[in-house]
């Protein structure tokens, strides 16, 4: 695999960190972005990557991130849109400002980052945009109106940009995992336990794994390996795809 310049958002922990580790392991030059500067700097130093502190709900931060990556590496070849949060609440109680923030972070930011990285990829005639989506980009669950809406929108963005990128050697795909063992999911367990009035263990078994054929949480490293595959020449004809890693959730 040719060495490329890769930008990974939400890279201080969880899936984003695992993706950064996988890309660095293949010799790529990785730019890690996260709002958690302390953790991000430490992890980037460990990996030999560049860290950029960025609140991607701020549009100017999206442009700055891509500019910093291009200045450091000469281009942006791979973009992994991973940054996101979760909020569990009935729609009638869902805070309006939280809705605005989540849509900005998980839908508008991937659009802007893709837009700003696009000219670099077109110039080289090669690019990979990988949107870390969710099984909730394909299926809905109650109490997650903003999250599900953002993820469904991200799937639409993936398909549209895939059609536009094909003639320029740019592929755009979405990875749609079920529950991954991350700090975000750990927080969801607490929130779901409170919402449903049940213990944490019951949340995992009766809610998170209820629809899965394989009864376990997915490891972040498994998503990192999927990203490497989508960046490889073996996946050069895959574009506009929902690459589903869901333990059988959507099989029914």
For residue 1, what pLDDT is reported?
Answer: 62
List the catalytic residue out of 51, 126, 147, 179: 147
Whether 65 shows a pLDDT value over 90: the answer reads yes
- Over residues 84-100, the pLDDT tens digits come to 998 888 999 999 999 99
Query: Can you tell me the distance from the alpha carbon of 88 to that of 92, in angstroms, rounded to the nearest whole number?
Result: 12
Pull the structure tokens for residue 105: 């972070």
Confidence (pLDDT) at 82: 98
Q: What is the pTM of this model?
A: 0.94
N-terminal to C-terminal alpha carbon distance within the chain? 36
pLDDT tens, position by position, 177-220: 999 989 878 877 887 788 788 888 888 888 888 889 999 999 99
The tokens of 69 are what?
Answer: 């990556």
Alpha helices in 94-219 (DSSP H): 96-103, 109-124, 145-165, 183-196, 200-203
pLDDT the model gives residue 138: 96
Sequence-distant (6+) residues with CB within 8 A of 162 are 171, 172, 173, 239, 240, 241
Q: Residue 152 CB: number of other CB atoms within 10 A?
A: 17
What is the pLDDT, as a whole number, of residue 206? 84
% of the chain at pLDDT higher than 70: 100
For the segment 25-32, the average pLDDT, to the nearest whole number, is 98
Q: What's the mean pLDDT when you consider all of the chain?
A: 95
- Domain definitions of the chain by residue range: 5-180+218-251
Q: What is the pLDDT of residue 252?
A: 81
Q: What is the pLDDT of residue 185?
A: 82
Residues 6+ apart with CB under 8 A from 87: 94, 95, 98, 102, 144, 146, 147, 191
Is 179 among the catalytic positions?
A: no
- Is beta strand 170-177 parallel, antiparallel or unpaired with respect to 127-132? parallel
**Average pLDDT rounded to a whole number, residues 150-176:** 98
User: Tokens 């376990």 identify what position?
Assistant: 216
CA 18 to chain centre: 11
For residue 50, is pLDDT > 80? yes
Average pLDDT, integer, range 130-145: 95
Distance CA 131, CA 150 (A): 12
Q: Which of 19-28, 85-94, 110-119, 185-194 has the least mean pLDDT?
A: 185-194
- CB-based contacts of 111: which residues, under 8 Å, 6+ apart? 157
| Burial environment of residue 252 by CB neighbours within 10 A (0 to 12, 13 to 18, 19 or more) | exposed
Task: Specify the CATH architecture of the domain 5-180+218-251.
Answer: 3-Layer(aba) Sandwich (3.40)
């Amino acid at each position: 695999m040719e060495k490329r310049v890769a930008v990974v958002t939400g890279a201080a922990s969880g899936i984003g960190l695992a993706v950064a580790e996988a890309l660095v392991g293949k010799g790529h030059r990785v730019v890690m972005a996260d709002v958690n500067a302390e953790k991000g700097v430490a992890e980037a130093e460990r990996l030999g990557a560049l860290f950029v502190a960025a609140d991607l709900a701020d549009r100017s931060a999206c442009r700055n991130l891509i500019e910093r990556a291009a200045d450091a590496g000469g281009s942006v070849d791979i973009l992994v849109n991973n940054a996101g949060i979760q909020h569990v609440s009935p729609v009638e109680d869902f805070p309006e400002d939280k809705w605005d923030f989540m849509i900005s972070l998980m839908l508008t930011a991937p659009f802007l980052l893709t837009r700003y990285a696009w000219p670099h990829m077109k110039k080289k005639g090669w690019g990979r945009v990988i949107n870390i989506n969710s099984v909730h980009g394909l299926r809905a669950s109650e109490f997650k109106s903003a999250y599900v809406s953002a993820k469904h929108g991200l799937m639409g963005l993936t398909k549209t940009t895939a059609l536009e990128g094909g003639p320029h050697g740019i592929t755009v795909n979405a990875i749609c995992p079920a529950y991954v063992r991350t700090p975000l999911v750990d927080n969801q367990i607490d929130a779901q336990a409170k919402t449903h009035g049940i213990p944490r263990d019951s949340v995992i078994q009766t809610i998170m794994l209820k629809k899965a054929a394989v009864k376990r949480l997915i490891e972040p490293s498994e998503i990192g390996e999927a990203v490497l595959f989508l960046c490889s020449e073996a996946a050069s004809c895959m574009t506009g795809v929902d690459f589903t890693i869901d333990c059988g959730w959507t099989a029914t």
